[in-house]
């Protein structure tokens, strides 16, 4: 139905089955509630906790871990020909424990984020004043039905979609739907033409919009999901949730590591089988599967979840609520932030910035310092008396421009409520769109004085006198021309100009229409919703971090460009695109220019979605901020949707990935910083875990080929992977953030999880492998001929342990016992060496500065020392060392081999020494001995940055002169 076109009360009553005077009866309400249901916005399906938990368990990386746990049970059974011992289940128990811990952590975090979001709902139980049974009463808004008669007053939310049937000076803030920052005047008169443009439906009040001034009565036409806000909420609920970039990368990594482990298992088994005793195939299979499992980072899933969880807790303290763990990393990779203007970049509070006073432009700060004379007294009285807004504590009711006037007057010492109590209003002419003026009459010192405010061009036509320098004189045409020129100058800077006048002849008037004639011009104010001071700095930080900021607003292009200039976002009209220009471009044309536009003005909701989609098609990771219902589709479409927690609607919060509890653009940049650090910590953990695992597998593979027997047992590898690596990798995510990461430009498009890790992998794999093999041979030096005779029963090999290991006449058990000393030394090397160099695996922006940026991770140092101590302790625990880890027993140590453990520890320090040496050489060459090509590039970059700084300084100086 097109209720906005119906002209008579009878048509409205028939269509909506109601009585516009008396309202609905209780019986009619009951019938309609059964037919239409509750007046509530559609909610997204709430996934039960157990479904979240089960979904977490079927994530690829956890499935691989569970497969590994099953294999760790099956392989020993095959190796032992069906005999099962309790010790065989240790590996599986540990792996399953890690899987459960990770699933529980992610489930708990998801539920906590959901609870935080529920707590942020601004309208948990909105009320509505209705006329039912010919009586006015207040009810829950959810109980409204079509046909209900609703009373609207200033300061109240619109509880449903209404056709206005009576109105008085009604203005409604529809910014959550249209993006318009200024309130819209509403009327009860029917429209002449059908329209689908919300901003043109002047006799309709939309659900969840805010009544800023006036009073009205409306009849409910639509409720719940049938309202405009409800339609958008429903469409958001129907959207399918996309995987975040981190989820995609981790899934890809899981498939890659699974394939690698499978290939390694076949390769190692084949090598051992064909180079050793074929009868021991079951043992070789066990070794191959164990080493393949060793490649898989069992602790990685827990590392990722715990690192993300720690960061989300940090971000809550910084006013950021993360609804989904992986969204933190995605925020760190963002290279385009599309942001709303009002309330995010600006204060969402109109403020008096400049004045036209005494025929000149001055700043509001300068005027506030002037002496309070007769002229100022009359002007300030005009600000507060010709005004209907009310401020009391945190409550602010009224038009934003009127609120700005009383705020400014209060700075100088005029309180609007005290003023109105002292100087009573006795008459008024309300504002209307045709006159563009408002007049009130107040009694001041026994004289009835009229104050008028309005558009300066209209007001000047009614003025016959002007007050300049505290002197009253006739106004000239030259005065009017000069005042209009000053007004136009201020308007070019997107300032809204409002003029004020007065006269003292109210008692002499015979016709009220003459109230706004023969006025005395007092002056004018120029207002704007100013930028947040923090937003200016935040935009600069974003640019330094290589992030483009795009402002999307429903305001006019001139206003938007003026704000963009203050924010250093855009400086020319060529960087601004209006909705009309956007509509003229097809998708291919938009793609060609999308990355050059910094401001989009007068946009509709569908435009926002189109802008985000075009940026994503260009390979960008896009964040969209918003608070209104009109922002919800684009919030859902963006890689990261950021909703405002204070002014944001429930629909916007529901569509978003992140919620800002302080509605501040600067907080987004803090989130980006945290996201980049999270991603870096995760990559660092991956570099450490995968590098160490591959080094261990490579060392074992080489020694197995040389000696025809594995130098380490499965329990040695699992101790390393599940105990040592877990302790260190988890503590990597607990360190302080690296501020230099905000100086790196994000890589556009898709990039691998391993990008930038090649150099680290090479260092870790080469030096750890060499140290491990070296430690093994160091340990085997202590094997004597007496040891071989004791194990073999004869002296056929003398002291040649290598020949004994290669022999096909010895059993696997005998060869394992021969290798006790080598295994012990190698165990110390593979478990302790990573503890020494874990603190020096740096992926920070070392190329950006010649100064070395040292970030001490106390938790990591503590974890490393604890892991080293733990490794040494287990070597000397009777029973555990020889029965479970197959290391040398305590009884085997003597005065001849006491330095086996200290020597192995010394070898484990060698990798970190070589790594630091290589890092020092690389750092020095990069900064102090650059190649000719890079030297020229550095010089060019320095010149470009110098030019940019000069241009910025020039713009700042120009702005200061204009002010």
The DSSP secondary-structure symbol of 324 reads: S
DSSP, residue by residue, 577-641: EEHHHHHHS-HHHHHHHGGG--EEES--HHHHHHHHHHHHHTT--EEEEE-SGGGHHHHHHSSEE
Residue 325 has φ and ψ, to the nearest 5°, of -50, -50
Residue 624 has φ and ψ, to the nearest 5°, of -125, 130
The first and second tokens of residue 252, run together, are: 């890809």
Handedness of CA 185, 231, 8, 14 (dihedral sign): negative
Q: Determine contact, residues 320/670, Cβ cutoff 8 Å.
A: yes
- Relative to beta strand 463-468, strand 135-140 is unpaired
* Residue position matching structure tokens 């977490």: 56
CA angle 487, 492, 493 (to 5 degrees): 100
* In 389-434, alpha helices (H): 400-412, 416-422
> Distance between CA atoms of 685 and 311, rounded to whole angstroms?
15
Which residue(s) pair with 900 in the sheet? none
Residue 604 has φ and ψ, to the nearest 5°, of -105, 170
> Distance between CA atoms of 909 and 918, rounded to whole angstroms?
15
CA angle 836, 838, 840 (to 5 degrees): 95
Smallest CA-to-CA distance from 159 within 230, 228, 223, 232 is with 223
Identify the H or E element spanning 519.
strand 519-528
Q: Determine contact, residues 150/144, Cβ cutoff 8 Å.
A: yes
The DSSP secondary-structure symbol of 532 reads: P
> Distance between CA atoms of 878 and 327, rounded to whole angstroms?
48
Is residue 427 part of the annotated active site? The answer reads: no
Q: Which of 102, 148, 340, 493 is catalytic?
A: 340
DSSP, residue by residue, 664-685: -HHHHHHHHHHHHHHHHHHHHH
Identify the H or E element spanning 170.
strand 161-173
- Relative to beta strand 135-140, strand 127-132 is antiparallel
Task: Give the chain's end-to-end CA distance (angstroms, integer).
Answer: 53
Smallest CA-to-CA distance from 439 within 550, 374, 525, 518 is with 518
* Residue position matching structure tokens 């699992």: 718
> Distance between CA atoms of 783 and 197, rounded to whole angstroms?
89
DSSP, residue by residue, 779-821: HHTT--HHHHHHHHSS-TTTT-HHHHHH-SSS-HHHHHHHTHH
Q: Determine contact, residues 579/601, Cβ cutoff 8 Å.
A: yes
> Distance between CA atoms of 132 and 147, rounded to whole angstroms?
10
Q: Determine contact, residues 838/728, Cβ cutoff 8 Å.
A: yes
> Distance between CA atoms of 180 and 628, rounded to whole angstroms?
11
> Distance between CA atoms of 327 and 333, rounded to whole angstroms?
10
Handedness of CA 379, 384, 389, 390 (dihedral sign): positive
Whole-angstrom CA distances from 45 to 204, 237, 610 are 31, 8, 27
Catalytic amino acids?
340
């Amino acid at each position: 139905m097109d209720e906005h076109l119906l002209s008579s009360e009878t048509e409205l009553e028939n269509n909506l089955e109601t009585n516009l005077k008396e309202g609905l009866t209780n019986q009619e309400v009951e019938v309609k509630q059964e037919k239409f249901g509750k007046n509530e916005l559609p909610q997204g399906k709430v996934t039960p906790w157990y479904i979240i938990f089960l979904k977490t368990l079927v994530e690829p990386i956890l499935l691989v871990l569970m497969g590994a746990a099953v294999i760790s049970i099956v392989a020993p059974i095959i190796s032992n020909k069906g005999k099962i011992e309790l010790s065989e289940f240790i590996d599986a128990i540990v792996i399953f424990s890690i899987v459960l811990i990770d699933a529980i952590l992610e489930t708990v975090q998801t539920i906590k984020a959901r609870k935080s979001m529920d707590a942020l709902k601004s309208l948990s139980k909105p009320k509505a004043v209705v006329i039912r049974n010919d009586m006015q009463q207040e009810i829950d808004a959810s109980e409204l039905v079509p046909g209900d008669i609703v009373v609207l007053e200033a300061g109240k939310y619109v509880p449903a979609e209404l056709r206005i049937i009576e109105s008085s000076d009604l203005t409604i803030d529809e910014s959550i739907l249209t993006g318009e920052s200024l309130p819209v005047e509403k009327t009860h008169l029917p429209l002449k033409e059908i329209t689908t443009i919300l901003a043109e439906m002047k006799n309709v009040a939309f659900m969840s919009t805010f009544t800023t001034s006036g009073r009205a009565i409306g009849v409910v036409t639509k409720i719940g999901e049938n309202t405009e806000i409800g339609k958008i909420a429903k469409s958001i609920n129907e959207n399918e949730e996309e995987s975040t970039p981190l989820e995609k990368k981790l899934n890809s990594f899981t498939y890659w590591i699974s394939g690698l482990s499978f290939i390694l298992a076949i390769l190692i088994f084949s090598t051992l089988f064909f180079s050793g005793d074929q009868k021991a195939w079951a043992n070789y299979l066990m070794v191959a599967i164990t080493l393949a499992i060793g490649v898989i980072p069992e602790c990685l899933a827990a590392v990722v979840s715990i690192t993300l969880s720690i960061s989300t807790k940090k971000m809550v303290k910084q006013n950021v609520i993360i609804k989904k763990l992986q969204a933190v990393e995605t925020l760190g990779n963002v290279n385009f932030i599309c942001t709303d203007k009002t309330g995010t970049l600006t204060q969402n509070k109109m403020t008096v910035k400049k004045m036209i006073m005494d025929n000149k432009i001055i700043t509001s700060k300068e005027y506030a310092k002037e002496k309070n004379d007769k002229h100022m007294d009359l002007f300030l009285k005009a600000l507060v008396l010709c005004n209907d807004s009310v401020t009391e504590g945190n409550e602010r009711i009224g038009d934003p421009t009127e609120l700005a006037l009383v705020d400014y007057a209060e700075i100088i010492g005029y309180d609007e409520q005290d003023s109105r109590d002292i100087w009573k209003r006795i008459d008024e002419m309300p504002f209307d769109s045709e006159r563009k003026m408002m007049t009130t009459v107040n009694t001041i010192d026994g004289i009835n004085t009229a104050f008028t405010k309005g558009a300066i061009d209209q007001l000047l036509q009614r003025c016959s006198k002007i007050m300049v320098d505290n002197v009253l004189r006739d106004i000239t045409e030259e005065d009017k021309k000069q005042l209009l020129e000053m007004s136009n100058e201020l308007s070019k800077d997107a300032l809204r100009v409002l003029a004020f006048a007065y006269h003292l002849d109210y008692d002499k008037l015979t016709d009220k229409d003459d109230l706004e004639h023969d006025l005395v011009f007092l002056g004018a104010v120029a207002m704007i919703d100013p930028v947040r001071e923090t937003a200016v700095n935040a935009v600069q930080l974003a640019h330094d971090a290589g992030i483009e900021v795009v402002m999307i607003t429903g305001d006019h292009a001139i206003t938007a460009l003026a704000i963009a200039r203050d924010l250093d976002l855009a400086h020319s009209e060529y960087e601004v695109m209006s909705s009309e220009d956007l509509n003229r471009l097809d998708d291919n044309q938009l793609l060609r220019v999308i990355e050059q536009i910094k401001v989009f003005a007068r946009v509709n909701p569908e435009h926002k979605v189109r802008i985000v989609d075009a940026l994503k098609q260009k390979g960008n990771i896009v964040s969209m901020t918003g608070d209104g219902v009109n922002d919800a589709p684009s919030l859902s479409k963006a890689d990261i949707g950021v909703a405002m927690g204070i002014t944001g609607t429930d629909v916007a919060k529901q569509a978003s990935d992140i919620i800002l509890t302080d509605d501040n653009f600067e907080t987004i940049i803090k989130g980006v910083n945290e996201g980049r650090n999270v991603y870096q910590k995760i990559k660092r953990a991956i570099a450490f875990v995968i590098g160490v695992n591959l080094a261990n597998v490579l060392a074992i593979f080489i020694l197995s080929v040389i000696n025809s027997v594995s130098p380490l047992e499965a329990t040695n590898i699992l101790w390393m992977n599940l105990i040592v690596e877990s302790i260190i990798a988890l503590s990597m995510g607990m360190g302080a953030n690296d501020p230099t990461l905000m100086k790196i430009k994000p890589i556009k498009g898709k990039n691998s999880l391993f990008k930038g890790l090649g150099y680290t992998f090479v260092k870790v794999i080469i030096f750890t492998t060499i140290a491990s093999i070296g430690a093994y041979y160091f340990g085997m030096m202590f094997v004597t001929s007496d040891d071989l005779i004791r194990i073999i029963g004869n002296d056929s090999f003398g002291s040649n342990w290598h020949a004994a290991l290669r022999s096909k006449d010895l059993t696997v058990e005998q060869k394992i016992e021969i290798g006790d000393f080598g295994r012990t030394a190698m165990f110390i090397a593979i478990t302790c060496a990573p503890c020494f160099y874990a603190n020096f695996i740096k992926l920070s922006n070392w190329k950006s500065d010649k100064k070395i940026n040292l970030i001490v991770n106390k938790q990591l140092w503590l974890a490393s020392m604890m892991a080293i101590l733990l490794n040494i302790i287990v070597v000397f625990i009777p029973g555990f060392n020889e029965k479970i880890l197959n290391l040398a027993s305590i009884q085997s140590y003597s005065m001849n081999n006491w330095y086996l453990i200290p020597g192995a520890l010394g070898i484990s320090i060698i990798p970190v020494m070589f790594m630091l040496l290589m890092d020092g050489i690389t750092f020095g060459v990069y900064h102090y001995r650059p190649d000719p090509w890079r030297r020229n590039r550095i010089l060019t970059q320095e010149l470009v940055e110098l030019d940019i700084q000069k241009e910025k300084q020039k713009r700042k100086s120009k702005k200061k002169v204009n002010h």
